Structure 1
Amino acid sequence: MTLAPPPPLSSLSAVRLRLVSQPTQGHMPRRIDGAWWPRSPDLVSELPRLLAALPHAWGQVTSVLVDEAVWSPFPGRLLVAHQVVRLRRTTTQHSPSTVCLLAPGRGRWDLRVVPPAATDAEARRLMESMATALWDSVGL
Protein backbone atom coordinates (compact mmCIF):
# COMPACT_ATOMS: atom_id res chain seq x y z
CA MET A 1 0.00 0.00 0.00
CA THR A 2 1.22 3.48 -0.83
CA LEU A 3 0.68 6.49 1.39
CA ALA A 4 -0.55 9.51 -0.52
CA PRO A 5 0.48 12.86 0.91
CA PRO A 6 -2.46 15.13 1.66
CA PRO A 7 -3.05 17.64 -1.11
CA PRO A 8 -2.10 21.20 -0.23
CA LEU A 9 -5.17 23.26 0.63
CA SER A 10 -4.42 25.66 -2.18
CA SER A 11 -4.49 22.84 -4.72
CA LEU A 12 -8.04 21.77 -3.84
CA SER A 13 -9.47 24.74 -5.66
CA ALA A 14 -7.28 23.89 -8.62
CA VAL A 15 -8.92 20.49 -9.20
CA ARG A 16 -10.26 20.53 -12.71
CA LEU A 17 -13.57 18.80 -12.23
CA ARG A 18 -17.03 19.31 -13.72
CA LEU A 19 -19.99 17.39 -12.32
CA VAL A 20 -23.41 17.01 -13.90
CA SER A 21 -26.41 17.55 -11.64
CA GLN A 22 -28.87 14.73 -11.13
CA PRO A 23 -32.03 15.44 -13.10
CA THR A 24 -34.76 16.63 -10.75
CA GLN A 25 -37.55 14.82 -12.62
CA GLY A 26 -37.54 11.09 -13.13
CA HIS A 27 -34.80 8.65 -12.34
CA MET A 28 -33.18 8.17 -15.71
CA PRO A 29 -29.81 6.51 -15.38
CA ARG A 30 -26.83 8.20 -16.94
CA ARG A 31 -23.49 6.75 -17.81
CA ILE A 32 -21.23 9.70 -17.00
CA ASP A 33 -21.49 11.91 -13.92
CA GLY A 34 -18.90 14.49 -14.91
CA ALA A 35 -15.44 15.10 -16.29
CA TRP A 36 -12.03 15.29 -14.62
CA TRP A 37 -8.92 16.81 -16.11
CA PRO A 38 -5.92 15.57 -14.11
CA ARG A 39 -2.66 17.49 -14.37
CA SER A 40 -0.51 14.38 -14.91
CA PRO A 41 -0.78 10.63 -15.57
CA ASP A 42 0.38 9.95 -11.98
CA LEU A 43 -2.72 8.51 -10.29
CA VAL A 44 -1.02 8.43 -6.87
CA SER A 45 -0.61 12.21 -6.88
CA GLU A 46 -3.84 13.09 -8.74
CA LEU A 47 -6.39 10.89 -6.95
CA PRO A 48 -6.13 12.52 -3.48
CA ARG A 49 -6.95 15.92 -5.00
CA LEU A 50 -9.91 14.49 -6.88
CA LEU A 51 -11.32 12.68 -3.85
CA ALA A 52 -10.95 15.80 -1.68
CA ALA A 53 -12.93 17.84 -4.22
CA LEU A 54 -15.92 15.49 -4.52
CA PRO A 55 -19.28 16.42 -2.99
CA HIS A 56 -19.64 15.36 0.64
CA ALA A 57 -22.93 13.64 -0.23
CA TRP A 58 -21.01 11.09 -2.31
CA GLY A 59 -19.56 9.63 0.89
CA GLN A 60 -16.15 8.01 1.18
CA VAL A 61 -14.90 6.47 -2.03
CA THR A 62 -13.25 3.16 -1.19
CA SER A 63 -12.63 1.72 -4.64
CA VAL A 64 -11.52 3.26 -7.92
CA LEU A 65 -11.42 1.57 -11.33
CA VAL A 66 -9.28 3.20 -14.02
CA ASP A 67 -8.09 2.46 -17.54
CA GLU A 68 -4.61 1.04 -17.07
CA ALA A 69 -3.25 2.50 -20.32
CA VAL A 70 -3.94 6.10 -19.25
CA TRP A 71 -1.97 6.07 -15.98
CA SER A 72 1.61 5.50 -14.87
CA PRO A 73 2.08 2.31 -12.83
CA PHE A 74 0.25 2.52 -9.51
CA PRO A 75 -0.21 0.32 -6.42
CA GLY A 76 -3.27 -1.77 -5.62
CA ARG A 77 -4.14 0.32 -2.57
CA LEU A 78 -3.54 3.91 -1.58
CA LEU A 79 -3.95 5.56 1.81
CA VAL A 80 -5.78 8.84 1.24
CA ALA A 81 -6.79 11.04 4.20
CA HIS A 82 -6.54 8.13 6.67
CA GLN A 83 -8.64 5.85 4.46
CA VAL A 84 -7.56 2.94 2.28
CA VAL A 85 -8.72 3.27 -1.32
CA ARG A 86 -8.51 0.17 -3.47
CA LEU A 87 -7.21 0.90 -6.97
CA ARG A 88 -8.24 -1.47 -9.71
CA ARG A 89 -7.17 -1.55 -13.33
CA THR A 90 -9.07 -2.38 -16.46
CA THR A 91 -7.33 -3.23 -19.70
CA THR A 92 -10.51 -2.82 -21.72
CA GLN A 93 -10.13 0.15 -23.99
CA HIS A 94 -12.80 2.73 -23.25
CA SER A 95 -13.30 5.58 -25.60
CA PRO A 96 -13.29 8.05 -23.98
CA SER A 97 -11.31 7.09 -20.91
CA THR A 98 -13.19 7.02 -17.61
CA VAL A 99 -12.59 6.64 -13.89
CA CYS A 100 -15.20 4.79 -11.82
CA LEU A 101 -15.59 5.78 -8.16
CA LEU A 102 -17.38 3.46 -5.72
CA ALA A 103 -18.68 4.40 -2.26
CA PRO A 104 -20.34 1.56 -0.31
CA GLY A 105 -23.97 2.32 0.44
CA ARG A 106 -23.82 5.58 -1.51
CA GLY A 107 -23.31 4.67 -5.13
CA ARG A 108 -21.15 4.65 -8.19
CA TRP A 109 -19.95 7.65 -10.17
CA ASP A 110 -18.23 7.61 -13.54
CA LEU A 111 -16.12 10.53 -14.66
CA ARG A 112 -14.72 11.09 -18.13
CA VAL A 113 -10.97 11.63 -17.97
CA VAL A 114 -9.70 14.47 -20.12
CA PRO A 115 -6.12 13.64 -21.17
CA PRO A 116 -3.62 15.46 -18.93
CA ALA A 117 -1.76 16.73 -22.00
CA ALA A 118 -4.86 18.44 -23.41
CA THR A 119 -4.63 22.18 -23.97
CA ASP A 120 -6.96 24.51 -22.08
CA ALA A 121 -9.08 24.95 -25.21
CA GLU A 122 -9.29 21.20 -25.91
CA ALA A 123 -10.16 20.39 -22.30
CA ARG A 124 -12.79 23.12 -22.11
CA ARG A 125 -14.37 21.87 -25.35
CA LEU A 126 -14.37 18.24 -24.14
CA MET A 127 -15.83 19.12 -20.75
CA GLU A 128 -18.53 21.35 -22.23
CA SER A 129 -19.44 18.86 -24.96
CA MET A 130 -19.66 16.10 -22.36
CA ALA A 131 -22.08 18.12 -20.24
CA THR A 132 -24.17 19.12 -23.28
CA ALA A 133 -24.37 15.53 -24.52
CA LEU A 134 -25.48 14.37 -21.08
CA TRP A 135 -28.24 16.95 -20.82
CA ASP A 136 -29.40 16.20 -24.36
CA SER A 137 -29.50 12.46 -23.62
CA VAL A 138 -31.89 12.95 -20.68
CA GLY A 139 -34.07 15.44 -22.55
CA LEU A 140 -33.26 18.52 -20.49
Structure 2
Amino acid sequence: MYATADQSQPRAMPFRAPTVRLALKPVSPSGGRAELDGAWWPRSHDLTPELSALADVLDPLWGRITRIAVDPGRWPVIPRRIHVNGRVVKVDWFTSGQDPHKIMLLSSTSGRWDLLVVPPETGAPAAARLMSAASAGTGPAPTATALMAAEQAEQVDTLPLSDEPGPGHPERPVPAG
Protein backbone atom coordinates (compact mmCIF):
# COMPACT_ATOMS: atom_id res chain seq x y z
CA MET A 1 0.00 0.00 0.00
CA TYR A 2 1.33 3.36 -0.95
CA ALA A 3 0.53 6.60 0.81
CA THR A 4 0.07 9.53 -1.47
CA ALA A 5 1.08 12.95 -0.34
CA ASP A 6 -0.84 16.00 -1.43
CA GLN A 7 1.38 17.36 -4.20
CA SER A 8 -0.63 20.53 -4.73
CA GLN A 9 1.11 23.80 -4.13
CA PRO A 10 -0.16 26.08 -1.40
CA ARG A 11 -2.65 28.50 -2.79
CA ALA A 12 -1.87 32.17 -2.61
CA MET A 13 -4.59 33.98 -0.78
CA PRO A 14 -5.23 37.44 -2.20
CA PHE A 15 -4.34 40.20 0.20
CA ARG A 16 -6.69 43.13 0.24
CA ALA A 17 -5.11 46.29 1.55
CA PRO A 18 -7.38 48.36 3.76
CA THR A 19 -9.29 50.84 1.68
CA VAL A 20 -10.36 53.09 4.52
CA ARG A 21 -8.10 55.98 5.48
CA LEU A 22 -9.05 56.61 9.06
CA ALA A 23 -7.51 58.12 12.20
CA LEU A 24 -9.33 57.67 15.51
CA LYS A 25 -8.89 59.39 18.85
CA PRO A 26 -7.75 57.22 21.72
CA VAL A 27 -10.59 56.17 23.99
CA SER A 28 -10.94 58.72 26.77
CA PRO A 29 -10.98 57.28 30.29
CA SER A 30 -13.27 60.12 31.38
CA GLY A 31 -15.82 59.13 28.75
CA GLY A 32 -16.50 62.79 27.95
CA ARG A 33 -18.00 63.73 24.60
CA ALA A 34 -15.38 65.16 22.24
CA GLU A 35 -16.13 67.49 19.33
CA LEU A 36 -14.44 64.99 17.00
CA ASP A 37 -13.69 61.32 17.42
CA GLY A 38 -11.20 61.27 14.57
CA ALA A 39 -10.95 61.84 10.83
CA TRP A 40 -11.86 60.01 7.64
CA TRP A 41 -10.22 60.63 4.26
CA PRO A 42 -12.36 59.02 1.55
CA ARG A 43 -10.73 58.15 -1.77
CA SER A 44 -13.56 59.52 -3.92
CA HIS A 45 -16.86 61.39 -3.89
CA ASP A 46 -18.72 58.12 -4.61
CA LEU A 47 -20.43 57.89 -1.23
CA THR A 48 -21.98 54.42 -1.52
CA PRO A 49 -18.76 52.38 -1.57
CA GLU A 50 -16.92 54.88 0.61
CA LEU A 51 -19.51 54.78 3.41
CA SER A 52 -19.86 51.01 3.18
CA ALA A 53 -16.10 50.55 3.59
CA LEU A 54 -15.99 53.02 6.50
CA ALA A 55 -18.93 51.45 8.34
CA ASP A 56 -17.56 47.93 7.74
CA VAL A 57 -14.43 48.93 9.65
CA LEU A 58 -16.15 50.91 12.43
CA ASP A 59 -19.03 48.51 13.03
CA PRO A 60 -16.91 45.93 14.94
CA LEU A 61 -14.98 48.67 16.78
CA TRP A 62 -17.85 50.91 17.86
CA GLY A 63 -20.79 48.56 17.85
CA ARG A 64 -23.54 48.10 15.32
CA ILE A 65 -23.74 51.23 13.14
CA THR A 66 -27.45 52.01 12.68
CA ARG A 67 -27.49 55.39 10.94
CA ILE A 68 -25.09 57.75 9.17
CA ALA A 69 -25.60 61.48 8.49
CA VAL A 70 -23.60 63.56 6.00
CA ASP A 71 -23.64 67.11 4.64
CA PRO A 72 -25.42 67.17 1.24
CA GLY A 73 -23.27 70.04 0.01
CA ARG A 74 -20.15 67.84 0.08
CA TRP A 75 -21.46 64.83 -1.87
CA PRO A 76 -22.94 64.78 -5.40
CA VAL A 77 -25.14 61.73 -4.67
CA ILE A 78 -26.28 60.53 -1.25
CA PRO A 79 -27.60 56.98 -1.06
CA ARG A 80 -30.63 56.35 1.14
CA ARG A 81 -29.18 53.07 2.37
CA ILE A 82 -25.87 51.21 2.28
CA HIS A 83 -24.85 47.64 3.02
CA VAL A 84 -22.72 47.13 6.12
CA ASN A 85 -21.51 43.68 7.13
CA GLY A 86 -24.49 41.97 5.50
CA ARG A 87 -27.23 44.34 6.65
CA VAL A 88 -28.72 47.66 5.59
CA VAL A 89 -27.89 50.99 7.27
CA LYS A 90 -29.91 54.16 6.66
CA VAL A 91 -28.07 57.26 5.41
CA ASP A 92 -29.44 60.73 6.17
CA TRP A 93 -28.27 64.24 5.49
CA PHE A 94 -28.38 67.40 7.51
CA THR A 95 -28.96 70.90 6.24
CA SER A 96 -28.45 72.97 9.37
CA GLY A 97 -27.11 72.76 12.87
CA GLN A 98 -24.30 70.40 11.96
CA ASP A 99 -20.71 71.12 10.98
CA PRO A 100 -20.50 70.68 7.18
CA HIS A 101 -17.01 69.15 7.42
CA LYS A 102 -18.22 66.34 9.63
CA ILE A 103 -19.91 62.96 9.28
CA MET A 104 -22.02 61.53 12.10
CA LEU A 105 -22.36 57.81 12.78
CA LEU A 106 -24.85 56.41 15.27
CA SER A 107 -24.30 53.09 17.00
CA SER A 108 -26.98 51.14 18.82
CA THR A 109 -24.50 50.19 21.54
CA SER A 110 -22.12 53.11 21.94
CA GLY A 111 -23.95 56.24 20.83
CA ARG A 112 -22.79 58.97 18.47
CA TRP A 113 -19.44 59.32 16.74
CA ASP A 114 -18.31 62.36 14.74
CA LEU A 115 -15.50 62.32 12.20
CA LEU A 116 -13.85 65.13 10.28
CA VAL A 117 -14.23 64.44 6.56
CA VAL A 118 -11.02 65.27 4.72
CA PRO A 119 -12.01 65.96 1.08
CA PRO A 120 -10.84 63.21 -1.30
CA GLU A 121 -8.87 65.68 -3.44
CA THR A 122 -6.76 66.81 -0.49
CA GLY A 123 -3.04 66.19 -0.91
CA ALA A 124 -1.35 63.63 1.32
CA PRO A 125 0.64 66.13 3.47
CA ALA A 126 -2.45 68.25 4.22
CA ALA A 127 -4.59 65.16 4.85
CA ALA A 128 -1.99 63.81 7.28
CA ARG A 129 -1.99 67.11 9.21
CA LEU A 130 -5.79 67.21 9.36
CA MET A 131 -6.12 63.58 10.40
CA SER A 132 -3.48 63.98 13.07
CA ALA A 133 -5.11 67.11 14.49
CA ALA A 134 -8.60 65.54 14.50
CA SER A 135 -7.42 62.37 16.23
CA ALA A 136 -5.07 63.97 18.77
CA GLY A 137 -5.93 62.85 22.26
CA THR A 138 -4.69 65.99 23.97
CA GLY A 139 -5.33 69.70 23.84
CA PRO A 140 -8.50 71.63 23.11
CA ALA A 141 -11.06 69.91 20.90
CA PRO A 142 -11.25 71.87 17.63
CA THR A 143 -14.32 71.76 15.43
CA ALA A 144 -14.14 70.21 11.98
CA THR A 145 -14.66 73.62 10.36
CA ALA A 146 -11.90 75.17 12.50
CA LEU A 147 -9.46 72.45 11.41
CA MET A 148 -10.34 72.93 7.73
CA ALA A 149 -10.00 76.73 8.03
CA ALA A 150 -6.61 76.39 9.73
CA GLU A 151 -5.42 74.05 6.97
CA GLN A 152 -6.62 76.44 4.26
CA ALA A 153 -4.78 79.31 6.00
CA GLU A 154 -1.67 77.11 6.14
CA GLN A 155 -1.92 76.50 2.39
CA VAL A 156 -2.21 80.24 1.67
CA ASP A 157 0.78 81.00 3.90
CA THR A 158 2.96 78.52 2.00
CA LEU A 159 2.29 79.98 -1.46
CA PRO A 160 5.44 81.45 -3.01
CA LEU A 161 5.74 85.22 -2.90
CA SER A 162 6.43 86.99 -6.17
CA ASP A 163 6.35 90.48 -7.61
CA GLU A 164 5.12 88.98 -10.86
CA PRO A 165 1.84 87.10 -11.01
CA GLY A 166 1.84 84.10 -13.27
CA PRO A 167 1.61 80.33 -13.29
CA GLY A 168 2.42 79.09 -9.81
CA HIS A 169 2.72 82.65 -8.50
CA PRO A 170 -0.70 84.10 -7.73
CA GLU A 171 -0.88 87.80 -7.24
CA ARG A 172 0.03 88.43 -3.63
CA PRO A 173 1.46 91.46 -1.88
CA VAL A 174 5.13 91.31 -1.04
CA PRO A 175 5.84 92.24 2.59
CA ALA A 176 7.61 95.59 3.00
CA GLY A 177 10.91 95.73 4.71
Which TM-score tier does this pair reach, normalised by the shorter chain? 0.7 to 0.9
Q: Which has the larger radius of gyration?
A: 2
Cα deviation digits, residues 30-84 of structure 1 (max 9, x gap): 1110100000111101011111222624111110000111112122122333211
Query: What secondary structure sits across from 1:62 in the alignment?
Result: strand
The answer on whether the counterparts of 1:67 and 1:93 sit within 8 Å (CA) in structure 2 is no
| Structure 2 letter corresponding to 1:67 | D
RMSD, aligned CA? 2.2
Identity %: 37
8 Å contact kept, 1:16–1:38? yes
Distance across 1 between alignment mates of 2:35 and 2:109: 19
Q: 1:57 and 1:43 mapped to 2: Cα distance?
A: 21
Please list every run of at least 4 consecutive aligned residues from structure 1 whose deviation after the TM superposition is greater than 6 angstroms.
none
Greater relative contact order (Cα < 8 A, sep 6+): 1
- 2:101, 2:117 within 8 Å by CA — same for their partners in 1? yes
Q: What's the counterpart of residue 137 of structure 1? A: 140
Pick from 75, 80, 83 the counterpart of residue 84 of structure 2: 80
Relative to structure 2, which stretch is displaced further, 52-61 or 105-114? 52-61
Other-structure match for 2:16: 10
1:118 to 119, 122, 125: 122
Q: Which has the higher strand share?
A: 1
User: 2:72 is matched by which residue type in structure 1?
Assistant: E
Structure 2 gaps of 5+ residues are 1-13, 142-177
Q: Where does the alignment leave 5 or more consecutive residues of structure 1 unmatched?
A: 1-7
